[in-house]
Chain A
Amino acid sequence: MRLQKNTRLALYSVLEFAARPGQHVPAAEVAQKYGESAHHLAKVLSELARAGILESVRGVGGGYRFTGNARRLTLLDVIRLFEDFDAAPNGLGRHGAPADRALGEVLAEIDQITLATFGSITVATMLKMVERNSATVA
């Protein structure tokens, strides 16, 4: 399972902002932390703001603050903003050869588990996992 670059950047961004709820965080700070151009990140943040997850903050430096519900917002909610995750997988359809259809069934099983996993992990849970990992590294 590979997520597109924008999707990963969106997930990192959501975690950064959600870790400091209500606080104004400069976009440049997030861009620098993840080694991304501010221009690239701006597009991602703009999409997150359109979805109501972030709110743009006017003023010096610009920035955003988290406005979502970290205990309800899941990774899948964020991923779906950037990827068509529910499309038929891998071009294997019900009209292909029997082997194609059989392989399609296997891949569909995997996709179902992937969807359930992303759909069950909230931002709040991710923040706890990040914290645990930080403690391990420290």
Chain B
Amino acid sequence: MREPQVRPVRRADLPEVIALDASVTGVHKADYWQRVYRRYGVGGQGLRHFLVAVDDGRVLGFVIGEVRDWEFGSPPCGWVFAIDVQPRARQRGVGTRLLNAMRNRFERVGVRMLRTMLASDNQLILSFFRSQGLRAGRLIPLELEIGADTA
């Protein structure tokens, strides 16, 4: 089986990315992905990345991340905030290749810490990150429900 190629996303990839995301999350959000493409797909200036893994012209997966710095005093780190692989292409190392490509881009600009955050019940993606060596870090996610009905 051929190794998929990992490269920056192109506008022509977006329909497949949107379809993949919709198939996994159950929510079709084309507008959101257009915004993500504008912010991370073009003009990232080496600090924002939107990468896809492709094989024979078909998108097998994607990863999105950016360098964030000095949030609550934290030195620059690479944040990965989206990653997914076509269900039919899983367990073939596609996710690993995507994450490694993102990691290489972070390292090129001097980043020495990679972080992510996701729902505690997202066992599939949590397991993936664990398999890549990520573990609980120094940051603790906190949240608060806000709005008129939550007082």
Contact string against A for B residues 112-129, beta-carbon threshold 8 Å, 1 for contact and 0 otherwise? 000000001101001101
Q: What distance in Å separates the Cβ of B130 from its nearest Cβ neighbour in chain A? A: 5
**How many angstroms between the C-alpha atoms of A116 and B91 in the bound complex?**
21
Chain A residues near B (Cβ < 8 Å): 71, 74, 112-113, 115-117, 119-122, 124-125, 128
User: A125 to chain B: which residues have CB within 8 Å?
Assistant: 127, 130-131
B151 within 8 A of A: no
Besides A74-B123, A122-B127, A124-B131, 8 more A-B contacts (Cβ < 8 Å) are A71-B91, A71-B131, A112-B120, A116-B120, A116-B121, A117-B136, A125-B127, A125-B130
Q: Which of B91, B126, B133 contacts A120 (CB 8 A)?
A: B126
25 A/B residue pairs, CB under 8 Å, sorted by A: A71-B91, A71-B131, A74-B123, A112-B120, A113-B120, A113-B136, A115-B120, A116-B120, A116-B121, A116-B126, A117-B136, A119-B123, A119-B126, A120-B123, A120-B126, A120-B127, A120-B129, A120-B130, A121-B127, A121-B130, A122-B130, A124-B131, A125-B127, A128-B131, A128-B133
**How many angstroms between the C-alpha atoms of A74 and B129 in the bound complex?**
13
Q: Which of A74, A113, A124, A125 has the most CB of B within 10 A?
A: A125
Per the 8 Å Cβ criterion, residues 85-108 of B in contact with A are 91
**How many angstroms between the C-alpha atoms of A71 and B93 in the bound complex?**
12
User: A124 to chain B: which residues have CB within 8 Å?
Assistant: 131
User: B131 to chain A: which residues have CB within 8 Å?
Assistant: 71, 122, 124-125, 128
Q: What distance in Å separates the Cβ of B100 from its nearest Cβ neighbour in chain A? A: 16
User: B133 to chain A: which residues have CB within 8 Å?
Assistant: 128
B133: nearest chain-A partner, CB-CB: A128
A132: nearest chain-B partner, CB-CB: B133
User: B120 to chain A: which residues have CB within 8 Å?
Assistant: 112-113, 115-116
**How many angstroms between the C-alpha atoms of A128 and B132 in the bound complex?**
10
User: A117 to chain B: which residues have CB within 8 Å?
Assistant: 136
Give me the 10 closest cross-chain CB pairs, A-B, nearest first: A120-B126, A116-B120, A125-B131, A125-B130, A120-B130, A120-B127, A119-B123, A121-B130, A122-B127, A112-B120
Q: What distance in Å separates the Cβ of A98 from its nearest Cβ neighbour in chain B? A: 18
**How many angstroms between the C-alpha atoms of A112 and B130 in the bound complex?**
17
User: A115 to chain B: which residues have CB within 8 Å?
Assistant: 120
